[in-house]
Amino acid sequence: MSQASFPFAVRSPTASSEPRVVDDHAAVDALFSLLEDDDCRCILDATDGVARSASELSEACDLPLSTTYRKLDPLVDAGLLSKRLRVSRSGSHTAEYERTVDDVTVSVTPSGVEVRVSHRDVAKSASVTV
């Protein structure tokens, strides 16, 4: 899924930013699809306040590594996870992922369903490990 599929995704969310309203029906359906997936929810739980690599997420969620990778791209594209580079002094670098949302709120209004996504501030720089 491309970034264009998710108009609510924010490239640089901040903790003080207002929740984004998702009003595109296709984006709402895609968001609900990700949130109803048990594996995606486990990944989101495992990345709450902690950046983890795909292999760490695979272990934490008891998922095959191939399944973990298949779930990560749509979560990043939707703006639910951030992806950054973990730089190691040994020269082996790996991508790490961290949850970027605090809240997804669904309300029923006279004009239909309203979905609000509240983002948190997540560092975008590379992290260094020894």
pLDDT at 130: 36
* 6 found inside a domain: no
Enclosing domain of residue 26? 19-117
Bridge partners (DSSP) of residue 127 are: 86
**Cα separation of 66 and 43, whole Å?**
14
Query: What is the CB neighbour count within 10 angstroms for residue 20?
Result: 18
pLDDT at 100: 93
pLDDT at 6: 54
Sequential pLDDT tens for the chain (130 residues): 444 445 444 333 444 467 778 777 888 888 999 999 999 999 999 999 899 999 999 999 999 999 999 999 999 998 899 999 888 777 778 899 999 998 888 888 888 778 888 887 765 544 444 3
**Cα separation of 111 and 6, whole Å?**
21
Q: What is the CATH number of the domain that holds 68?
A: 1.10.10.10
Query: Tokens standing for 93?
Result: 């670098």
Say what the pTM is: 0.76
User: Please, where are the H alpha helices in the chain?
Assistant: 25-36, 38-46, 54-60, 65-77
The number of distinct structural domains making up the chain is: 1
* 5 found inside a domain: no
* 27 found inside a domain: yes
pLDDT at 126: 43
pLDDT at 122: 61
Residues in the chain: 130
* 4 found inside a domain: no
* 70 found inside a domain: yes
pLDDT at 57: 97
